[in-house]
Structure 1
Amino acid sequence: MERMSEKKAPLLTPLMRWFLLAMILANIAGTMTNMLMPIYLTELGASVGQVGLVFTLTSVVILALQVLGGWISDSIGRLRAIALGSLGGVLGFIVMLLVPSWPWMLLALSINQIPYALVGPSFSAFIAENSTDENRGQVYGLTDTLYQVVGVIGPPLGGWLAGASGFKAMLLCATLFYSAAAGLRLWMARTMRSGNEAAPRPLTLASFRASAGLIGSLILGGGVVTWIFITDGVRDIAFRLSGELQPLYLEQIAGLTLAQIGLLGSVFSGAMMLTPMLSGRMADRYGERVPISAGFLIVFAALVVFLYASAYPVFIASWALFGIGVGLLSPAYQSLISKVVPRQSLGAFNGLFYSGLGLISLPAPWLGAQLWEHFNPRLPFLITAGVALVTLLPAWLKFRLPKAETTSQFHDEIGHGAVE
C-alpha cells in the first residue's frame, strides 16, 4: 500500500505550487521588461554601443552579488533568501519606473539584479530539496513547463502596453506584478519551510570559505562539473555576444513592431512548454547528455533560420525552434548539476558557478555591439550559431554520470565533509 501511495503522489507538493505561483508572478514582470529594455534604452538616448555597455556593467553587479547570494541561500534557507531578494526587486522596479535617462536606468537595472542574485541560486536548489534522484528530471521538466506561462503572458503584454500606452505604463504594470509576488514570498518565508532544508547556519567568513573551497574543488576536479563549466563558459560568451542585441536586430534590421517582438517571446515560451517534460523523462531514463545534445542541435538550427529570415512567419518559426531547444536543455542541465553537487551546497554552487561563468562572459555584450557597429549586425549571431554546434561534441562525450550507487556515495562523502 505504501508503494502504491508513493506512485500516486503528485510531483509537485502544495509548498512547491505556492513557490511556483510566486515565481510566475515575479517573472511575468521580468519578461514584460527584459525583452524590450534594449529598445527602451535607445529611447532614453543610448546608442547601440551604450546599450551593450549597460548590460556589461550590470553583469558586474550580479557577479558580485551572486557570489554571496548562493551562500546566503544555503545558510538562512531558500524561502528566506528568496523573500529578501524580492524586497530588492520591488525597489529596482520602482526606480526603473522613475528614471529620466539611460545612465539612471543603469542604476535601476543594477538594483534589480538583487533578486537574480538571491532568487536565482535558490530556485534549482529548492526543487532539488523537494524531489528525489529518481524523479528529479521529471520534476524539473514539469516546473519548467508550468513556468513557461510567464513567457506566454509577459512579452506580449509588455509589447502591447509599451506600444499602446508607452514604456512607463508597461513598467507600472510590471511593478504591480512583482509587488504581488514579493508579498506572497514574504508570507511563505514566515509560515513555511522547505522539506529537506538544512537548519539555518550563521553567516560567517569560515562557512563562506568552506563553501567556496568545496565548489572550487568540484570545478577543478576534472569530472563532469569541470566539463559543465568549460562548455557553459564557451557557450555563455557566444550567446551573450548576441542575446541582448536580438530585440534591436528585430526592430532595426527586420523592421518588426514592438507588439510583434513581444509576440515572438510568447511563441518562444509556448514552444518551450512542449519539451521540458520530454527532457526530464529522457534525462531520467537515458541520461542528461541525450536531451542536452539534442537541445544544442535545435538551437543551432533556430539561429540558422533566424539569420536567413526576412518575413515575420519565418521569425516565428525561428523562435519556436529556440523554445523547443531551450526546453530540452534547461531541465537536463538542472538535473545533471543537482546529481553531482552536494544538496546542502547547491545554493553556493549556483551562485559561485554562474558568477564564474559571468566573469568569463563579462565583455561579451559590449564586444557583440562592437561587432555589430564595426563589421556586420549578423556577425554576433553567426558566432553564436557556430558555438552551439561545436558544443555538441563535449556534451555528448563528457556529460556521463557514474552508477546511481556511486553518485549517492559521492554526495554523502562530500556532504559530510562539508558540514564538518
Structure 2
Amino acid sequence: MRRIQAGGALSAFGLGFTVPYLYVYVAQVRDLGATTAGAVLAVFAMAALVVLPFSGRAIDRRGPLPVLLVAAVLASVGALGMGLAGSVPTVVLSAALLGAGTAVMQPALATMIVWCSSASTRTRAFATQFFLQNLGLGIGGLIGGQIVDESRPSSFTLLFSIEAVMFLVLAGIAASVRLPGSPALPGGRPENTEAKGGMRALLGHKAMVQLCVLGFVLFFACYGQFESGLAAYGTEAAGIKPATLGMALAANTAVIVVAQFVVLRFVERRRRTRVIAAVGLIWAAAWVIAGYAGLGHGSQTMATAAFISTYALFGLGEAMLSPTVAPLVADLAPESMVGQYNSAFALVKQLALAVGPAVGGPMGAALHGPYIVTFILFSLGITVLALRMGRQLTPVQDQPSLAAKASRVVAQHKPEQRVEASA
C-alpha cells in the first residue's frame, strides 16, 4: 500500500508541473494559437472519455497492475511528445496519449488500493491517496511555476520531461508491488476468468446508478467550476484579480492538506450518506458566500476574503468526500467487477469535468445572479440525493465501522461460547 500511495503521489507531482501551463504552452510558447490550445485541452478530455469505458473490463480481466503499467508508459510518451512538439498534429497526438494514460491510471490505482485494503481500512487508504495527490499537485505546481519562462521553450521541455520521468517512476514502483488477495475480495486476482456482468449488470445496480448520478452532481458543482465558471464569476462580478485566484486555489489545497486526517476521524464514525449530505450543505453555504462576494456590494477587501473563503469551504467538503465516495464505489462492486465500477465512476467524473466548464463558464461571466442560484440548488440537490441513496445501502455499506464493532464483539464472546459448548 505504501508503494502504491508513493507512486500515485509522484505521478501527481509530475502532473502539477504541467497542467496549469498547458494552454499557455501551446498557444503562446509554441505559437500555435488559442484555437489549437483549446483543441488540445478538448482532446485531452475526450481521450479520457474514449478509453475509460474499456479500461474497467481490462482491469477485471488482466488485473490492475498490467493496465497501470501500460497507462503510465502511454502518459510518459505523451508528456515527452508534448514537450518536444512543434506542430499541430504532434501536439494533438501527444495530448491524446497523455489524456488517455492519466485517465486509465485513476481506476487502476483505485483497484490496487481496494486489493490492498479491507473494508475497515479502505476509508483511511483513499483519504491518504487524496491527501498525497493534492500535496503532489500543489508542490509540483509551485516548483513548476518557478521554472517556467515563456521566453524560453526549453523550460517547458524540461517540465514535460520531468513529468514523463515521474510516470515512469510510477510504473517502476508499481512493477515492484506484489498484490495480495484482499480480505474483502476472496480469490484476489483474476485467474483467466472472464469479467462477468458488464455494463448491463452495473446499470441494473440501483445503488451504483444513484451513486453515479450523485457523483456527476458533486463534480459538476465543484471541480467543474473551479477554473471556469467560478473563476469567471470572481473576476467579472466580484472584481477579483488573477493573482487572487491563485490565492483562492492555494487556500483550497491548504484546507485539504491540514484538515484531511482531522476530518477523517469524524467521518470514520459516521454514516457515509450523512457525510455526503453534510457536504452539500457546506457547499451551499460556500455558494452563498460567493454570492455575497460578487453581489453584496461590499468593499473589495470583503469581497476578496469572501471569495477565498468559498474555495476554502470547497476544500473542507472535498476532505470529507475523499474517505467516503471512492471507498463506497469499491464496497458496492461485485468481486469480478471492481475495475469496471471504478472506471464507470471515473467516466462520470470526467463527463462532469467536461460539462461543468461548458455550462458554468458562460453563466459565471454574464449571468451572475442565476449562476449563484443554480449552484446553490445543485449543492442542496447533493444533500437530497445522498439521503435518498442511503435507503439503498446496507448498514455496513453506509457505515463500515459497524462491521469492525461487530467483529470485536464476536471475538470477545467466542471464548465464552466454547466454554459453554464444552460444558
Q: TM-score, normalised by structure 1?
A: 0.76
Q: CA deviation at 1:238?
A: 4.5
Bigger shift: residues 111-120 or 312-321: 312-321
Alignment of 1:202-351 (within 5 A): 207=194, 210-213=196-199, 216-222=200-206, 224-239=207-222, 242-245=225-228, 249=232, 253=236, 254=239, 256-257=241-242, 261-307=245-291, 308=293, 310-311=300-301, 312-351=304-343
Equivalents in 2 of 1:265, 1:370: separation in Å? 21
Q: Over aligned residues, Cα RMSD in angstroms? A: 3.7
Bigger shift: residues 22-31 or 353-362: 353-362
3-state SS in 1 of match to 2:120 = coil
Structure with higher Rg: it is 2
In structure 2, give the amino acid aligned to 1:322.
F
Aligned CA distance change for structure 1 residues 238 and 257 (closer, same or farther; 3 Å): closer
In structure 2, give the amino acid aligned to 1:348.
Q
Q: CA deviation at 1:329?
A: 1.1
Quick check: 1:46 aligned with 2:41?
A: no
Specify the alignment match of 2:178 in structure 1: 193
In structure 2, give the amino acid aligned to 1:150.
G
Equivalents in 2 of 1:100, 1:342: separation in Å? 46
Equivalent pairs counted in the alignment come to 381
Specify the alignment match of 1:9 in structure 2: none
Aligned CA distance change for structure 1 residues 185 and 53 (closer, same or farther; 3 Å): closer
Q: 2:47 aligns with which of 44, 54, 61?
A: 61
Alignment of 1:3-402 (within 5 A): 16-38=1-23, 43=28, 45-46=33-34, 55-100=41-86, 105-162=91-148, 168=153, 171-196=156-181, 198-201=188-191, 207=194, 210-213=196-199, 216-222=200-206, 224-239=207-222, 242-245=225-228, 249=232, 253=236, 254=239, 256-257=241-242, 261-307=245-291, 308=293, 310-311=300-301, 312-355=304-347, 358=350, 363-371=355-363, 375-376=366-367, 383-399=374-390, 401-402=393-394
Q: CA deviation at 1:326?
A: 0.8
> Are 1:41 and 1:102, in contact at CA under 8 Å, matched by a contact in 2?
no
Equivalents in 2 of 1:148, 1:64: separation in Å? 26
Q: CA deviation at 1:236?
A: 4.0
In structure 1, give the amino acid aligned to 2:340.
A
Equivalents in 2 of 1:266, 1:359: separation in Å? 25
Q: CA deviation at 1:89?
A: 1.1
> Are 2:229 and 2:363, in contact at CA under 8 Å, matched by a contact in 1?
no
In structure 2, give the amino acid aligned to 1:302.
A
In structure 2, give the amino acid aligned to 1:397.
R
Aligned CA distance change for structure 1 residues 168 and 346 (closer, same or farther; 3 Å): farther
Aligned CA distance change for structure 1 residues 244 and 24 (closer, same or farther; 3 Å): same
Bigger shift: residues 294-303 or 130-139: 294-303
> Are 1:241 and 1:367, in contact at CA under 8 Å, matched by a contact in 2?
no
Q: CA deviation at 1:385?
A: 3.9
Aligned CA distance change for structure 1 residues 167 and 116 (closer, same or farther; 3 Å): farther
Specify the alignment match of 1:8 in structure 2: none
Q: CA deviation at 1:23?
A: 1.3
Matched-pair identity in %: 19
